[in-house]
Amino acid sequence: MSINSALLAGVSGLTANSAALAAISQNIANVNTIGYKRTQGEFSTVVNSQTTGAGYSAGGVLATARHYTSQAGQLQRTTSGTDLGISGQGFFVVTEKAENLNPTDARLFTRAGSFSVDNMGYLKNTAGLYLQGWPVDAAGNITTDPSDLTRLSTINVGSVGGTAEATTRVQLNANLQSSQNVSAAATAASTTPVGTGAYDPATNSMAMYDPEAGTGVKPDFEVTVPVSDSKGGQRTMAISFLKSSEPNQWYAEIRAIPADDVTTGAGLANGQLKTGIVAFTQDGRLDVDAMAALGADALFADPANATLNFGASDDAAPAAGGANWAAGLGIAEQTVSFDLTAAAGGLTQYDSASVVQATLTNGTAFGNLSEVQIDEKGFVTAIFDNGVTRQIAQIALATFPSPDSLSEVSGNAYRVSQGSGTFNLKGAGTGGAGMIGASQLEASTVDLSTEFTGLITTQRAYSASSKIITTADEMLAELISIKR
């Protein structure tokens, strides 16, 4: 009977509008939920099969929920460096537990990036879900995999200890006074035969100088250079200069202070690391060609490749002219390069007082973790108070062919569904994945004006559906009363 179908159509209208009201209520309740994606009830007509000449049978309406998961919310600035927002496509990969993850443990996906460091150092959002990323291996490399979730691990910033960085480069900006008087020891070294008390890097060197004992030769000028070893320990090198009687040439020695910090091979003594001659041009610059012509007699035959090599403490005895760190120090091998021809200065010989303008090194002493920063590519970097930075991990972003078809779970997260398609793991800014914004959070996509308007229309539609039922009831009552 058509009246019965009208009655049932009214019931379907009540059911459908109830579902729409539930979706609107969910949206309004989550208007301030970080990363929330609005849901909307959408209606579709239900049509019953009709028999010709038998009247019309109303089918009613069916409500389905449509999830706008792919709709991006506005990024809002925060004061926390671990708050993360995604500008573009992609979801953070999260898990419900931080440690001992198995392949069977659920991996969820979310845009809610309000992460903070928990008591174990893991990054966890307000729903208690832990952020996943590709870790840095022992060699400092990050190996990404677009399809294997088990290659991800929970990002931990609390397990990062202190670090140090060994010195590998020294830039020396210093001037040697060209009018420096030639000492008696240097003069004696240039006579034939060699005079009494002559300077000799092997038997009467600047490294042997001791005014109280009356040994060695006093340098005309000396520069000390701080050096950090592989453990962050502070070592000291000294570069001593003695003006030669040969114009534009100086004797030079590089030595360790104290001398027992190193073990040296034949030809070196008293902590010496390198000895030789430094030559200058007539306009006061380092004479690279002259030093190349000096060959083995030069401090560095090739000033552009001026390096000192220290063997490790546990290496075998050094060869002639070589040096190891002392066995008691227990430190690793090290190569220190000297920049003596820097455009900003370098080593010069002008007729002004001998002076050191700057000694620049790149090594650092031991430093503690001061902060953790996350850049737009998702690289998590530890910054130490000694200026050293070290990457910890890279945040993985998951993209889907149909993100609107993901299945919702509690905690403002999603699971893979048959309709969503399989995930694809990417680094931020690659393969269509969005960029990551640190100190930003994605706002809810709920628009209150739209929801309140929908609330009014849904209420009216519900009332109208109830009128269908009451009207159909009155018509049935009229039909029943015909017999009276």
Residue after which a domain boundary falls, among 312, 347, 367? 367
Which three-class secondary structure string do you get for 167-214? Answer: CCEEEEEEECCCCCCCCHHHHHHCCCCCCCCCCECCCECCCCCECCCC
Residues 342 and 257 occupy one common structural domain? yes
Q: Which amino acid is at 452?
A: F
Q: Which amino acid is at 60?
A: G
pLDDT tens for the chain, 484 residues: list them.
578 888 888 898 899 999 999 999 999 999 999 999 999 988 888 888 776 666 788 888 988 889 999 999 999 999 988 999 999 999 999 999 998 889 889 999 999 999 998 888 899 999 999 999 999 887 778 888 898 888 999 998 877 766 778 899 999 999 999 999 999 999 999 888 888 899 999 999 999 999 998 899 999 999 999 999 988 888 999 999 999 999 999 999 999 999 999 999 999 999 999 999 999 999 999 999 999 999 999 999 998 889 999 999 999 999 999 999 999 999 999 999 999 887 667 899 999 999 999 888 887 777 777 788 899 999 998 887 767 778 889 999 999 999 999 999 999 999 999 999 999 999 999 989 999 999 999 999 999 999 999 999 999 999 998 998 999 888 888 888 887 6
Please choose, from the candidates 372, 441, 429, 417, the residue with its C-alpha nearest in 3D space to the C-alpha of residue 144.
Answer: 429
Residues 226 and 327 occupy one common structural domain? yes
Residues in Cβ contact with 326 at an 8 Å cutoff, skipping those fewer than 6 apart: 260, 261, 262, 263, 313
Residues 104 and 202 occupy one common structural domain? no
What domain range is 87 assigned to? Answer: 75-162+369-442
DSSP string, 267-331: T--TTEEEEEEEEB-TTSSB-HHHHHHHGGGBS-SSGGGEEEEEE-TTSPPP-TT-EEE-GGG--
User: How many Å apart are CA 172 and CA 346, to the nearest integer?
Assistant: 6
Q: Based on the structure, what is the number of domains in the chain?
A: 3
Please choose, from the candidates 98, 20, 26, the residue with its C-alpha nearest in 3D space to the C-alpha of residue 62.
Answer: 20
Predicted pLDDT at 52:
67
Predicted pLDDT at 427:
92
User: How many Å apart are CA 437 and CA 113, to the nearest integer?
Assistant: 10
Residue after which a domain boundary falls, among 345, 367, 389? 367
Predicted pLDDT at 192:
85
- The residue assigned the tokens 């159509």 is 9
Residues 251 and 344 occupy one common structural domain? yes
User: How many Å apart are CA 412 and CA 126, to the nearest integer?
Assistant: 10
Predicted pLDDT at 1:
56
Please choose, from the candidates 395, 405, 470, 466, the residue with its C-alpha nearest in 3D space to the C-alpha of residue 433.
Answer: 395
Residues 97 and 154 occupy one common structural domain? yes
Residues 113 and 155 occupy one common structural domain? yes
Paired with 425 in beta bridges are 398
For residues 150 and 103, the answer to whether their CB atoms sit within 8 Å is: yes
Both structure tokens of 424: 């694809």
Predicted pLDDT at 55:
74
User: How many Å apart are CA 370 and CA 393, to the nearest integer?
Assistant: 17
Instruction: Provide the whole-model pTM.
Output: 0.65
For residues 397 and 385, the answer to whether their CB atoms sit within 8 Å is: no
Residues 347 and 203 occupy one common structural domain? yes
Angle separating helix axes 2-29 and 448-480, nearest 10 degrees: 160
Residues 280 and 346 occupy one common structural domain? yes
Both structure tokens of 376: 């737009």
Residues 270 and 121 occupy one common structural domain? no
Q: What is the CA radius of gyration of the chain?
A: 40
Both structure tokens of 288: 């690279």
Residues 362 and 221 occupy one common structural domain? yes
Residues 154 and 202 occupy one common structural domain? no
Predicted pLDDT at 478:
86
For residues 123 and 102, the answer to whether their CB atoms sit within 8 Å is: no
Residues 264 and 126 occupy one common structural domain? no
Q: How far is CA 102 from the centre of its chain?
A: 26
Residue after which a domain boundary falls, among 367, 384, 405? 367
Both structure tokens of 364: 């650092």
Both structure tokens of 100: 């001992």
